[in-house]
Amino acid sequence: MASVNASMILAFAILGATVALFVFSKLRADLVALLSLLALYLSGILTTQQALAGFADSTVIMVAALFVVGEGLSRTGITAWLGQFFMRQAGESETRLLFVIMLGTAVLSAFLSNTGTVAMLLPAVVAASWRIGSLPSKFLIPMAFAANLGGLITLIGTPTNIVVSDTLVNAGYSGFGFFEFAIVGIPLTLLAVAFI
């Protein structure tokens, strides 16, 4: 009984340290995650099989691949091109820029991680807003909403969609189709864009 309590306390301590490292951003997020996994393994809380089980999960690999694609788009200059495209389409109008940013973010977020999409477009949106003489704060929250809503359009739009589909398959049901979420996602996205 005492060893169970000690293991629970140690697990919560590692969890607390992990959250603190994420919040204060002293180390990269991927490094913090790996160090937490290593701490759980070295402390005996996780077995080798449990520690490595996530790397064999297709969902984890899919989510990691989405982040790689997002980084690839950024490094190849697609992000910069999108920023220029936003600026050309918006002209000098705040309303047009807001519309283009929200629609563009939603479309990208449907096929990339919504977090990666926002990180990729953030510099472009800030530059576009300064260029038309407006404040970036008018565009960043709507962009975040559009990214979340765009994630509801496809199976790979958010990691949650993938996890839910895999859980259904593992339970013996059929998983979701690639565009099955779009039945709800597209109308919600269009309504949100129109509302904002």
Residue 130 phi, psi (nearest 5): -65, -35
pTM: predicted TM-score of the whole model, two decimal places: 0.66
Give the pLDDT of residue 183: 92
Dihedral, CA atoms, 135, 140, 145, 148, nearest 10 degrees?
Answer: 160
Q: Is 102 exposed, middle or buried (0-12, 13-18, 19+ CB in 10 A)?
A: buried
Give the pLDDT of residue 4: 65
Give the pLDDT of residue 83: 67
Report yes or no: 37 and 55 within 8 Å, Cβ to Cβ.
no
Q: Average pLDDT by consecutive 10-residue portion of the chain (196 residues)?
A: 74 91 83 89 88 74 72 76 74 85 88 78 82 86 92 86 86 89 92 91
